[in-house]
Structure 1
Amino acid sequence: MRSLHSSSFAALSVLACLVGRVNAELKNVFAHYLVGGMSGVDEAVKDVTDAKALGLDAFALNVQQPTAPFTTDALGFLFDAANQNGFKLFFSFDMTTINAPSDFLPLFNQYRGNAAYYQHDGRPFVSTFDGGAKSFGVSSPGQGWQQQFKDVLSDQGVNPFFVPDFDDYGGATYDSAFFTNYPVVDGVFSWESAWPQITEGLVNVSDSKDQAGLQAARAANKVYMMPISSVQFKHIDGGQNWYRIGELNLPERMGQVLALQPDFVEIVSWNDAGESHYIGNNWPKAISGSPAIQAYSNDYDHTAWQAVLAPFITAYKAGKTTAADITPFGEFAGAFWYRPLLKNAACAGDSLGKPQGAENARDQINIAVLLPSNTTGVTMRVTSGGNVVANLSTTAGLNTAGVAISTGAQKVELIDASGNILGAGSSTQDVVADTSSTCNFNYQVVHIA
């Protein structure tokens, strides 16, 4: 049984108390949304209504090609769906593919006044993926963004609330020097702190970068948006083939978010099939041009993670500070996830071979179960390969476990004190020790229902 309560959480809770007043009017939760091909508005409506039911406040729309027809068509569908269903959207411009603000400003100006565009303090919210190292031909990135983004919009009477992901700016983490050099930002978001780096080895995710970034942002009177994610597995080509730990990453981050109480939270991601951390729907048209992504994401449904994310979102917005405070809406909520391929598989038929970081993977069933505050006597029974391999006691709130896995079928059951089965989930795909096809480190996620 793994507990999310660590010694560092006590210190972080002190920090949370200090910033509580600032956070009271913030506390919104977003999901990173990769804008790709869509077949029609029905798909957008499904995404928006699912996200709203989960408790999300907006999608952060990752735009890579601002003028491409697939982008403009999808944005039309999404804004229509958001307006129909009382949901919000804002742009997160992908600066790995966009050269300068002038390339995305027409699109931003088209939608910033839309009723569905997310506003903070009456200002249109804008984020990025990277861009902290781009100076756009002037003396520094901070000045480049000021002159070519903020000043251009200021001349039009627009003052965006700018919270970019500038992880690429060159520093180890956001610190006081960053905010001195980038006064253009109203806050920051860190993509990279959501998972351990491959070079860190077999370690759990740390919130040290988030803690440093939040403290520096507070000192500069800025906001901090914290990421939470499950895994990062990419298997596209020789330059995009890696695995960043995803075993218990998601529930670990839940506890860290509650302890730190950042101003905003962004879930990474809603639909990024290419990096395997999607929690929502993957529409076929978005990945129709990438057989490699289809090979490791088709039939790998992750929506069961939403069962434990929804109560977490509620707890965060209510100012709860410990994993014990994440309680279900009913008798219980839960999910388990596993890789159907053991990490030592040869993958003889896959020209890419194992992903970088495969050595850091753990062959285990990963479990997150939420139980009410009055819970007593409930046990998690874990069956792997036809054998009962663990009977784990539980407490109120978030319970997590990582149990060694065997080949074959997998099952997790919740058993009450009288021996009755409260709920259960069974694997959708057997675990195998080897494969002649794709070396797939993606997760099958199973709802405990």
Structure 2
Amino acid sequence: MGGFRFKLSAFLLISFSLHIYAIKEVFAHVIVGNLRTFNFTDWVSDIRIAQSSKIDGFVLNIAAHDPSNEHSLDLAFEAASAVGNFKLLFSFDYRAQGPWSRDAVTELLRKYTRHPAYFKHDGKRPFVSTFEGAECAEDWPAIKAATNAFFVPDWSSVSAAHAVKLAGGVVDGLFSFKAWPSGRENMTTDMDDTFRAALGARRVYMMPVSPWFYTNLPGFGGKNWMWRGDGLWDRRWRQVIKIQPDFVQILTWNDFGESHYIGPIPEKALGLFQVANAPINYAQGVTHDGWRKFLPYYIEVYKTGKAPQQVDENVYAYYRTTPAYACPNGGTSGGSAAHGESVMPPEHLVDDNVFFSTLLNTDHGVTITVRIGDNEQTGVFTEFPAAGRGTPGVYTGSVPFAGRTGDVVVAVLRGSKVISRIGGGKPIANICENGTQNWNAVAI
């Protein structure tokens, strides 16, 4: 009998440990250097907005040698505690201002990982990530020994198979920064599958999700390219739900310079466009709020593994505000030679479409209309929930600009009843800002 109790206790302990290990979390990547003007109230506001979208926490990207780091981090942790039920973790950026020293990393981890808001993977080990830094892999055995860190870096500049072997296999998992497709191809899970195969069953995988990418910052090493974002956001969440990774990281909350922010756009956080000699401020007035709208649904399905049988029906849409050939392309390339890709003119990479996604209990009897200026088109769904047409979930499609300009209004009707209507985003126009194309997109 005593042996049975021992076996049962051991089974329960193993089951409990596996349950903790299998908990899924969704984080959003935050560039702390973009928020050096933030005060406590600003941090609270952003955290509450993220929390309302069912995001579990922020991954705080911090650059080496940035004197504003600790002030910003103090405010972030204070705000997370004030809001409650929101976690923070570090991503040490080894590229923005050079590599971190081992001692500096250790010191910051010792200071902040004691905070109740710091995310612990198993309730004990502080989760720590990086942006690159594979060349400093040998620092991490000592850092882990000093801090008990659960180490899941982004070392995407080397192969996943190589990354898991560095410093004697120091990683506890890997995060991939490969969140965008190459060329006109749609995003696949090929890279995710490569990472998971290299990691095996003992290490965790943090999967990236992003809605867009466009950067034109000449002062930051001549950064000036875009990757295809048409249909990317919803497609990527479908892939998350299929793959069921251990963790998800959204790229990003506030990287305005790369146009993949899903958070609000505070005017005082846009100074980088001047610092980096950008030809235009391509984030100002270009809201991405629409990309947060279905996050509660997607995150619930990811975490539970099943779609709810009843949803709050709604719609969002996204589009670029200038036809591709209306303005000079600003020297932007479609794809990045710096990332070893073949490049093409950006005009060839994207479609002049208004993309729409609607969350429905069923598409039976549903019509979707897209008005651009005074011209209205009827949309057609081209992607459906995994269970098929007529079932609850996200239905997506698009309509072309076809030379139309003006305000964009998208409406979803069932019969003659309007289910949802959106508008108010920046209009489509043949207007060139400073003689340059803005390849960013509005999401409403």
TM-score, normalising length from structure 1? 0.82
Structure 1: unaligned runs, 5 residues or longer = 1-20, 136-140
Aligned pairs for 1:56-135 within 5 A: 56-68=55-67, 70-86=68-84, 87-96=86-95, 97-99=97-99, 100-121=101-122, 122-132=124-134, 134-135=135-136
Aligned CA distance change for structure 1 residues 436 and 124 (closer, same or farther; 3 Å): closer
Q: Deviations over 1:32-89 (max 9, x none)?
A: 0110313310000011111112111110000013551x22221111100001112110
For 2:40 and 2:71, the matched residues in 1 are separated by 9
Aligned CA distance change for structure 1 residues 223 and 377 (closer, same or farther; 3 Å): same
Amino acid at match of 1:90: L
Q: The residue matched to 2:198 in structure 1 has which SS? A: helix
Contact kept, 8 Å, 1:43 with 1:283, in 2: the verdict is: no
| Correspondence for 1:273 | 256
Q: Say yes or no: does 1:316 pair with 2:302.
A: yes
Q: Deviations over 1:387-425 (max 9, x none)?
A: 2222436743111112211322322110112x1111111
| Correspondence for 1:262 | 245
For 2:320 and 2:42, the matched residues in 1 are separated by 28
Contact kept, 8 Å, 1:342 with 1:434, in 2: the verdict is: no
Q: The residue matched to 1:168 in structure 2 has which SS? A: coil
Amino acid at match of 1:271: N
Q: The residue matched to 1:167 in structure 2 has which SS? A: coil
For 2:165 and 2:222, the matched residues in 1 are separated by 34
For 1:67 and 1:167, the matched residues in 2 are separated by 23
Contact kept, 8 Å, 2:285 with 2:426, in 1: the verdict is: no
Q: Percent of counterpart pairs with the same letter?
A: 32
Q: Say yes or no: does 1:34 pair with 2:31.
A: yes
Contact kept, 8 Å, 1:301 with 1:445, in 2: the verdict is: yes
Contact kept, 8 Å, 1:367 with 1:401, in 2: the verdict is: yes
| Correspondence for 2:229 | 246
Q: The residue matched to 2:128 in structure 1 has which SS? A: strand
Q: The residue matched to 2:293 in structure 1 has which SS? A: helix
Q: 2:209 aligns with which of 221, 224, 228?
A: 228
Aligned pairs for 1:321-332 within 5 A: 325=307, 329-330=311-312, 332=313
Higher mean C-alpha deviation, range 431-440 or range 337-346: 431-440
Q: The residue matched to 2:126 in structure 1 has which SS? A: strand
Contact kept, 8 Å, 1:129 with 1:165, in 2: the verdict is: yes
For 1:316 and 1:343, the matched residues in 2 are separated by 35
For 1:334 and 1:125, the matched residues in 2 are separated by 35
Q: Deviations over 1:127-175 (max 9, x none)?
A: 011112x14xxxxx4xx1xxx2332441x4x310000100012x3xx23
Aligned CA distance change for structure 1 residues 112 and 353 (closer, same or farther; 3 Å): same
Amino acid at match of 1:378: V
The number of residue pairs the alignment matches comes to: 393
Aligned pairs for 1:394-409 within 5 A: 395=390, 396-405=392-401, 406-409=404-407
Superposition RMSD on alpha carbons, in Å?
A: 2.3
Residue 244 (structure 1) shift: 0.7
Contact kept, 8 Å, 1:241 with 1:356, in 2: the verdict is: no
Q: Deviations over 1:178-213 (max 9, x none)?
A: 423451000000012x1013xxx2111111100121
Q: 1:431 aligns with which of 428, 431, 443?
A: 428
Q: Deviations over 1:86-133 (max 9, x none)?
A: 21100001011342333332222210111111001110000011112x
Q: 1:338 aligns with which of 302, 319, 325?
A: 319
TM-score, normalising length from structure 2? 0.83
Contact kept, 8 Å, 1:23 with 1:263, in 2: the verdict is: no
Aligned pairs for 1:299-378 within 5 A: 299-320=285-306, 325=307, 329-330=311-312, 332-347=313-328, 352-357=330-335, 358=346, 359-372=348-361, 376-378=364-366
Amino acid at match of 2:87: K
For 1:164 and 1:298, the matched residues in 2 are separated by 32
Contact kept, 8 Å, 1:235 with 1:355, in 2: the verdict is: no
Q: The residue matched to 1:90 in structure 2 has which SS? A: strand
Q: Say yes or no: does 1:208 pair with 2:186.
A: no
Q: The residue matched to 2:301 in structure 1 has which SS? A: helix
Amino acid at match of 2:153: P
Structure 2: unaligned runs, 5 residues or longer = 1-17, 336-345, 382-388
| Correspondence for 1:444 | 442
For 1:23 and 1:366, the matched residues in 2 are separated by 38
Amino acid at match of 1:397: G
For 1:65 and 1:180, the matched residues in 2 are separated by 25
Q: Which has the higher contact order (CA 8 A, sep 6+)?
A: 1
| Correspondence for 2:369 | 381
| Correspondence for 2:142 | 151
Aligned CA distance change for structure 1 residues 442 and 67 (closer, same or farther; 3 Å): closer
Q: Deviations over 1:290-329 (max 9, x none)?
A: 3338711111111221111121011111123xxxx37774
Aligned CA distance change for structure 1 residues 379 and 411 (closer, same or farther; 3 Å): same
Aligned CA distance change for structure 1 residues 130 and 317 (closer, same or farther; 3 Å): same
Residue 285 (structure 1) shift: 3.2
For 2:234 and 2:310, the matched residues in 1 are separated by 14
For 1:116 and 1:302, the matched residues in 2 are separated by 27
Q: 1:411 aligns with which of 389, 406, 409?
A: 409
Aligned pairs for 1:172-187 within 5 A: 174-175=160-161, 177-181=162-166, 183-187=169-173
Contact kept, 8 Å, 1:271 with 1:278, in 2: the verdict is: yes
Contact kept, 8 Å, 1:93 with 1:127, in 2: the verdict is: yes
For 2:207 and 2:310, the matched residues in 1 are separated by 23
| Correspondence for 2:13 | none
> Which stretches of structure 1, 4 residues or longer, exceed 6 Å deviation after superposition?
21-24
| Correspondence for 2:180 | 195
